Amino acid sequence: MNKIKTKISTYIFGLGVFLAPNLSYSMQEFDFLTKINSFDDKEKVEFVKNNIEAINKQRYLKTIGNIIDETNDDIINEYANREKRLPPSIDEEKLIIQIKSMPPYMYQYIGPYLHETVGISEKILNMPGIKETKGTFPTRISPHLKDFVKQYGQFLSPRLYFVLMPEAWPSQNKTPVEKIEPQKQKRIFTSTEINDDLIIEANKHFYDAYFNDKKLDTKQLRTIGKITKSSPLTTGDAQAFLDTMTELRKLESNKKYKDKIYNAKKNIKHNFDGNTTNVPTSTLRDMINPCQRLVSAVKFSGEENKFELAIAKKGFTIDEWAYTCDKTIKAHRLAQAYPAVISFLRGYKKGYYQKINLLQAPSIRETIDAAQRMYFEMHQSTVDDVIAVRKLKQQISKEFVGKDNEYLFTFPITAIY
């Protein structure tokens, strides 16, 4: 009997534990329900009127804390999403080039606004000249606004700092603006007045005057649009690349900067290239695309600002410069190749050397295969790219002649390890 009582007590206790979390009544609500069942209708109405306000108040006090916490969480999350830095966009490099093209005195007007704009990357905010303008006020102010600035300058939004420039007020310039007289509209011929003889005569004078009766060679111009790995090389692109070497050689003479690039190169080699005893992957990649590897090291070191300044004058982004450099060197290397080199490239492309390597010992076969593949890739170019650099072959050879000039920031541009 005692055992049965014990089991029943245990069951009731367990049932109470199971149901307890589902009971949402407070003690005051329980007393309210107990009392109201003993009243008649009139007493129930009166009792409800007196006690319903207290019960609602208690429920409100129980839930208000959770409501406040949830509201605060939503506000914090919204603020965090609004204030977080956005990932680098495609237009970031374009904005950097635009900023670099401005004269330095313009930075005091745009810098404070950039620092307060949500989503501007740290790369832009830490640019030389922009970084120093954080929280500053322009010092170069139009003369007729100086009194206004003294009185109300502290209330002026950074997005309106540009109106303080003297150039924003032409009436304040000492040199008057020349009045431009509108030109008379030229006569437009009707379709009935135009015949084949007129068109032939016009074309004849046009070509004789401007092109000496020769069509314009588009390969002499720069690439329109974005330069990619697969876009064709033009003589204008190759010439622009060579023109950047003067500034890059000056930057290379900065020993501290060069050491940072070299340290980044070693870090990439040991941590990312996956070198083995038989195949030095770092060396192969440096030889095949030296300029792209150089740019990777520059980005890894975090010192791309100075590099970008050196090449921005010629309209390159850092990646476009790397692609143009590698395509120029490969095309020049192929254009200067001896007959023996051409014979090797043809044989390798047809698979002759790969079959011969099968006769080698396994310990050295992998190394020989890698070296031959590297030499083949070093000469990969297109006919159009080779034609584009033919006129520049002497200039390219002169730029990279000599033991020191074969390298750029320790990367082998034309050298062979």
**In this structure, are 274 and 354 located in the same domain?**
yes
Residue 324 pLDDT: 94
Nearest to 345 by CA among 355, 356, 336, 334: 334
**In this structure, are 105 and 233 located in the same domain?**
no
Structure tokens given for 202 = 């016009």
20 vs 11: CA distance, rounded Å: 14
Residue 336 falls within a domain, yes or no? yes
Cβ 232 vs Cβ 250: under 8 Å? no
18 vs 143: CA distance, rounded Å: 81
Residue 192 falls within a domain, yes or no? no
Residue 46 pLDDT: 66
**In this structure, are 166 and 98 located in the same domain?**
yes
**In this structure, are 100 and 62 located in the same domain?**
no
Residue 113 falls within a domain, yes or no? yes
Residue 181 pLDDT: 54
Residue 327 pLDDT: 94
**In this structure, are 141 and 35 located in the same domain?**
no
Residue 238 pLDDT: 93
Structure tokens given for 153 = 């300058």
Residue 314 falls within a domain, yes or no? yes
Residue 239 falls within a domain, yes or no? yes
114 vs 131: CA distance, rounded Å: 10
Residue that finishes a domain, picked among 172, 195, 210: 172
**In this structure, are 69 and 102 located in the same domain?**
no
Residue 78 pLDDT: 62
The residue type found at 222 is R
User: What backbone torsions phi and psi does residue 43 show, to the nearest 5 degrees?
Assistant: -65, -35
Confidence (pTM):
0.49
Neighbouring CB atoms inside 10 A of 364's CB total 11
User: What backbone torsions phi and psi does residue 174 show, to the nearest 5 degrees?
Assistant: -75, -35
Distances (CA, A) of 121 to 19, 91, 115, 311: 56, 11, 10, 21
**In this structure, are 374 and 238 located in the same domain?**
yes
Residue 242 pLDDT: 93
**In this structure, are 135 and 29 located in the same domain?**
no
**In this structure, are 134 and 47 located in the same domain?**
no
Residue 358 falls within a domain, yes or no? yes
222 vs 97: CA distance, rounded Å: 17
Residue 405 pLDDT: 80
**In this structure, are 277 and 386 located in the same domain?**
yes
3-state secondary structure the chain: CHHHHHHHHHHHHHHHHHHHHHCCCCHHHHHHHHHHCCCCHHHHHHHHHHHHHHHHHHHHHHHHHHHHHHHHHHHHHHHHHHHCCCCCCCCHHHHHHHHHHCCHHHHHHHHHHHHHCCCCCHHHHCCCCCHHHCCCCCCCCCHHHHHHHHHHHHHCCHHHHHHHCHHHCHHHCCCCCCCCCCCCCCCCCCCCCCCHHHHHHHHHHHHHHHCCCCCCCHHHCCCCCCCCCCCCCCHHHHHHHHHHHHHHHHHHCCHHHHHHHHHHHHHHHHHCCCCCCCCCHHHHHHHHCHHHHHHHHHHHHCCHHHHHHHHHCCCCCHHHHHHHHHHHHHHHHHHCCCHHHHHHHHHHHHCHHHHHHCCCCHHHHHHHHHHHHHHHHHCCCCHHHHHHHHCCHHHHHHHCCCCCCCEECCEECCCCC
Which range marks the domain in which residue 324 is found? 219-412
Residue 296 pLDDT: 92
Per residue in 135-159, is it b (16+ CB within 10 Å) or e — as a string? eeebeebbeebeeeeeeeeeeeebe
Q: For the chain, 417 residues long, give each residue's pLDDT as a single digit of tens.
A: 444 444 434 433 443 433 344 444 444 444 555 555 566 666 666 666 666 555 565 655 555 566 666 666 666 666 555 444 545 555 677 788 788 878 888 899 989 988 888 778 888 888 888 989 998 999 888 888 888 888 888 888 888 888 888 887 765 555 444 444 555 555 554 545 555 565 556 555 554 444 454 454 555 678 877 889 889 999 999 999 999 999 999 999 999 999 999 998 888 888 776 666 666 788 888 889 999 999 999 999 888 899 999 998 888 999 999 999 999 999 999 988 888 888 888 888 888 888 888 877 777 888 888 888 899 999 999 988 999 998 898 899 888 877 678 888 888 888 765
Residue 333 falls within a domain, yes or no? yes
Per residue in 241-273, is it b (16+ CB within 10 Å) or e — as a string? bbebbebbeebbeeeebeebbeebbeebbeeeb
Cβ 245 vs Cβ 325: under 8 Å? no
Residue 211 pLDDT: 47
Residue that finishes a domain, picked among 59, 83, 107: 83
Structure tokens given for 62 = 């129980």
**In this structure, are 68 and 117 located in the same domain?**
no
Residue 1 pLDDT: 47
Residue that finishes a domain, picked among 44, 60, 83: 83
Residue 254 falls within a domain, yes or no? yes
Distances (CA, A) of 43 to 49, 53, 74, 163, 213: 10, 17, 46, 76, 113
> Domain tally for the chain?
3
**In this structure, are 158 and 302 located in the same domain?**
no
